[in-house]
Amino acid sequence: MATTAPASTGPPTLQRNAVGTFGALAQSLGAISPARTVAVMGALIVPLAGTGTWLTVLFQMIVVLCTGWIIIRLARRFATTGGLYGLNSRCAGRLGGVLTALAIVFIGLAALPAMVVVFANYTASFFNLFGTPMSKPVLAGFCVLGAVLAAFFSYKEIKLSVMVMLALQALSIAMMVLLFSIVLAHAPHIIDGAQFGLHGVTVQGLALGMVIGIFAYEGFESATVFGQEARNPNHVIPRAVVGSLIITGLLFTFAGYSLVLGYNGHLPALIASPNPLTDLANRNGVHWLSYLVDIGIIVATFAVIIATINLVARSCSHWPASGCCRPRSPGSAGPPKPRSRRSCCSPDSGSRLPCGWFPPAPPRWCSPGRSSPSPASSPSPNTSSSASAEPSTSPASGTCTRSTSSPA
């Protein structure tokens, strides 16, 4: 008589081979949210860097690319759903992995409510353009709506989640590029001598602008959480990380140059403007474009919420699988086994990154080409029936084994 196996009641598993290169790219771009950074660039970076804003953000991209190169090297060798936590635990051990995981969860849980509130504020500001004031209950409703929709897209299916993020980020970036292209087309001279000559720019201002602007790239490595869901993750994830950094850096450079050029070098007016992108559209006679730019910022903020949920959820789900919180069994017999400090950077792993401990040296009698201990220290044949065991080695393999003999 045929029997039917009971349905599995375990936790749902991640979908394999569900995310391609563009899906992983959407995760990293969604966490960065370039349009949201461009919207506040006039208030954060321009006051410090001045006409050298474009150079500051260009240096930022180079610095972050150097940092991302290390993550790319690890992502090419290891596929993990824990993101930086999973990769860092390979080289820094369990403690380093746990500290990284705690930092990711803390930042994610702190950023989620903030992004929900920013999404509601941007939405309310957009409706204010049409003379529709927003009350506090309506703002609270937008907060709940943004959180519920983002959680739905993240939980429903990863394909749906990344496609939504890709469409939203493409829309927001396209609106920014269109606005700045119109600014360049209406400018009397595309080549701005003041910006390329770095007039009034100081080294201190460039350095401070880099320090503040470096946080704009936060989350670029979040594509590394797709180690199980990506198709060929060792190739897809590094491409997504590099692609997100290059796209974001070029957009920031283009935006910084166009902002200063669109205001004709009047930096005080740019810094004092509460909404420089809307003012820039009005200056160039494309007021209708300001609405599209605002919509692009709203949807980019919504994409940040989805990307943050994806990042935190997969980092937390990797904890039980990795065993970082698994205590030692109290019933295990014998002393604890010595811990090998071999990491992803050991000589036999093929990596050249100087970021780990080399494995400890084997015993002298276990080295290749050497025989077992001398006969003087080994037991005589008459005592071969004793319960003691002596190490022996195979010169061909260089491995150390122990042979035991039972009493007669």
Mean pLDDT (10-residue bins), the chain, 408 residues: 42 71 91 89 89 92 90 84 75 77 82 87 83 80 88 86 91 93 90 88 90 87 86 90 93 93 86 87 88 91 89 73 52 45 44 40 41 45 42 42 42
Q: How far apart are CA 328 and CA 337, in angstroms?
A: 11
**Block residue for tokens 């320090």:** 211
Which CATH number covers residue 160? 1.20.1740.10
Q: How far apart are CA 317 and CA 322, in angstroms?
A: 9
- β-strand 400-403 against 390-393: which pairing, if any? antiparallel
Phi, psi of 334 (to 5 degrees): 85, 170
40 with 56: CB under 8 angstroms?
no
Q: Which of 99, 128, 310, 123 is nearest to 225 (CA)?
A: 310
Q: How far apart are CA 299 and CA 287, in angstroms?
A: 20
The tally of domains found in the chain comes to: 1
In a domain, 333, yes or no: no
Q: Where are the alpha helices (DSSP H) in 157-275?
A: 158-186, 193-196, 203-213, 233-262, 267-272
Q: Looking at residue 134, what is its pLDDT?
A: 76
In a domain, 329, yes or no: no
**Token pair of 232, please?**
């060929």
In a domain, 380, yes or no: no
Cα angle: 380, vertex 383, 384; to 5 degrees: 90
In a domain, 134, yes or no: yes
Tell me which residue range forms the domain holding 293. Answer: 21-318
Q: How far apart are CA 250 and CA 35, in angstroms?
A: 12
In a domain, 296, yes or no: yes
19 with 236: CB under 8 angstroms?
yes
**Block residue for tokens 């003087």:** 376
Q: Is the dihedral of CA 66, 68, 71, 75 positive or negative?
A: negative
In a domain, 360, yes or no: no
163: left (phi over 0), alpha (psi -120 to 50) or beta: alpha
In a domain, 374, yes or no: no
In a domain, 382, yes or no: no
Residue 77, Cβ density class (10 Å: 0-12 exposed, 13-18 middle, ≥19 buried): middle
Q: Looking at residue 326, what is its pLDDT?
A: 53
**Token pair of 112, please?**
């989620």
**Token pair of 53, please?**
């804003």
**Token pair of 275, please?**
């909404």
**Block residue for tokens 């946080």:** 215
Adjacent-strand bridge partners of 212: none
Amino acid identity at 292: L
